[in-house]
């Protein structure tokens, strides 16, 4: 029952994304799986009977995959910070260059828009 609810949530929370975002999502899934499997291997060292606890590796990999899926969906839906936004659209401070070196700055003011 719990798995079907998780699958339902994952299917209906999917977003349309470019291939670069899909690659990032799959990397998060793979890293989560590897980290979970590693945690399962470490748990064998802490177990009293490691031979009887070999399923811990698969359990860890599975939990890591779920964590990677969750983190990947979070990163896909994350809103990127704005880049180079102008606070005042009517005025801008523009740097001026001379022979490749910074020469100063110029204040550009828009008095009217047409």
33-45 tens-digit pLDDT: 999 999 999 888 8
Is the pTM value of this prediction over 0.75? no
Q: Residue 14's pLDDT is what?
A: 56
Q: Cβ-count burial of 70 within 10 angstroms (0-12 exposed, 13-18 middle, 19+ buried)?
A: middle
Structure tokens at 94: 């523009």
pLDDT at 77 over 90: no
Quick: pLDDT tens for 5-58: 766 666 666 555 566 678 888 899 999 999 999 999 988 888 888 777 788 889
Extract the runs of DSSP E, i.e. beta strands, from the chain: 91-98, 101-109
Nearest to 69, CA basis, from 16, 18, 114, 30 = 30
Structure tokens at 82: 């704005």
SS3 call for 85? coil
43-52 LR contacts (CB < 8 Å, sep 24+): none
């Amino acid at each position: 029952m719990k798995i079907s609810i998780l699958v339902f949530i994952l299917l209906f929370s999917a977003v349309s994304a470019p291939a670069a975002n899909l690659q990032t999502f799959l990397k998060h899934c793979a890293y989560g799986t590897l980290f979970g499997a590693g945690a399962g291997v470490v748990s064998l060292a802490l177990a009293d009977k490691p031979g009887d606890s070999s399923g811990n590796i698969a359990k860890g990999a599975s939990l890591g995959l779920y964590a990677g899926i969750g983190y990947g969906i979070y990163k896909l839906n994350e809103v990127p910070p704005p880049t180079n936004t102008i606070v005042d659209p009517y005025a801008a401070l523009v740097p001026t260059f001379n022979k490749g070196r910074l020469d100063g700055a110029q204040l550009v003011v828009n008095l009217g828009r047409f």
